[in-house]
Structure 1
Amino acid sequence: MKSKELKWAILISIIILLGYLLPYTVLTNVAEWYGSLLLWTILAVIIIAINYLISRKWGE
């Protein structure tokens, strides 16, 4: 794995970890279900954008 790919993999891993940690720490006092759903939606969009940035030059 190249250094650039390793950096992207670490970033994606951190974002996935945040998806598990934030709802049970920072958002623990939010009683509404949509607090976590909004967080997970934002994190998913970020992951999709990162995957686009990684794979956009594969065909070249």
Structure 2
Amino acid sequence: MSRSLSLKLVSLVILTCYFVPYALIGQVAAWYGSFLFWCLAGVAIIILNIIATAGFSEDAE
């Protein structure tokens, strides 16, 4: 996966983090739906950031 694609996916996940809690699960009283969403969003961001920064090194100029 290319660096630019993973950064675009990061921005997509961030947008869903604004959309989903208010639009899709805003009316759900149970906490576990929100907890699952935030856990999956957090793991997705971590993985995408690892992919985006995999090519960085201290020797690059």
Of structures 1 and 2, the one scoring higher in RCO (CA 8 A, sep 6+) is 2
Runs of 4+ in 1 over 4 A off after TM superposition: none
Instruction: For structure 2, list consecutive stretches of 5 or more residues without a partner in the other structure.
Output: none
The alignment's C-alpha RMSD in Å is 1.9
Contact 2:25 2:34 in 1 (8 A): yes
Deviation at 1:20, TM superposition (A): 1.4
Summarize deviations over 1:6-58 as a string: whole Å, max 9, x none.
33222111101101111111112310122212101101101100111122232
Match of 2:56 in 1: 58
Aligned residues: 57
The normalised TM-score by structure 2 is: 0.71
Q: Distance in 2 between matches of 1:5 and 1:57?
A: 8
Instruction: For structure 1, list consecutive stretches of 5 or more residues without a partner in the other structure.
Output: none
The normalised TM-score by structure 1 is: 0.72
| Aligned residues with identical type, % of pairs | 33
